Amino acid sequence: MSELRELYQEYVLDHGKRPRNFRAIEGATHRGEGYNPLCGDRITLQLLVEGDVIRDIAFSGAGCAISTASASTMTETLMGKTLAEARATFGAFLSMVKGEAEPDYDALDKLAVFAGVAEFPMRVKCATLAWHTLNAAIEGAEAVTTE
């Protein structure tokens, strides 16, 4: 049960229910579509990038608490960051939720709340859907699926 509490912290439940930056962006420069065919989660991610800086980032879609909270926190974390910082954070987040490395709490900041996902291998795809979608959006790829 403690692992479950670790996964579903108040913060995650809150962002799952009331996601931040849950909207569309007028004149977005980047857009990504993500889909998790296992659970039907769908996300549309939009960014407004000026030069190398993410001026705005927002998402819409439907998913479980983990994927929604993860997307919400991602947008908060990356607002105002550079694309290079976003890529680095993506890498750190991935290795944290896959349990590959001891989380770098300084770099991850609020995202560290998802460290508990590593204990739930079946839920890693939920937590990473928004991030894979981000990666596709900034690398200019087509829709991604986390299979």
Partner 1 sequence: MRREDFPALEQTVQGEPLVYLDSAATALKPRAVIDAVTGVYARDCANIHRAVHTLSQRATQAFEATREKARAFLGAESTDEIVFTSGTTESINLVAQAWARPRLGPGDRVLISGLEHHSNIVPWQIVCAQTGAELVVVPITDEGEVPLEQVEARLDERVRLVAMNHVSNALGTVQDAAEIARLAHAAGAKVLFDGAQAAPHLPLDVRALDADFYAFSAHKLYGPTGVGVLYGKRALLAECEPYQSGGDMIRSVTFEKTTYASLPAYLEAGTPNIAGVIGLGAAIDYVEGIGRATLHAREQDLLRYGTEALSSIEGLRLIGTAKRKVGVLSFVMDAAHPHDIGTIVDAKGVAIRTGHHCAQPVMERFGIPATARASLGMYNTPEDLDALVRALHEVRRMFA
- Residue numbers of the site for partner 1 (CB under 8 A)? 1, 3-4, 7-8, 13, 16-17, 37-42, 62-66, 120, 122-123, 126
Q: Is residue 127 within 8 Å of 117, Cβ to Cβ?
A: yes
Instruction: Choose between 40 and 80: whose C-beta lies nearer to partner 1.
Output: 40
Cα–Cα dist 77/80, whole Å: 8
Instruction: Choose between 68 and 135: whose C-beta lies nearer to partner 1.
Output: 68
Q: Taking the C-alpha atoms of 18, 19, 21 and 25 in order, what is their torsion angle to the nearest 10 degrees?
A: -100
Residues in the chain, overall count: 147
DSSP three-state, residue 23: coil
Instruction: Choose between 7 and 74: whose C-beta lies nearer to partner 1.
Output: 7
Minimum CB–partner distance for residue 3 and partner 1 (Å): 7
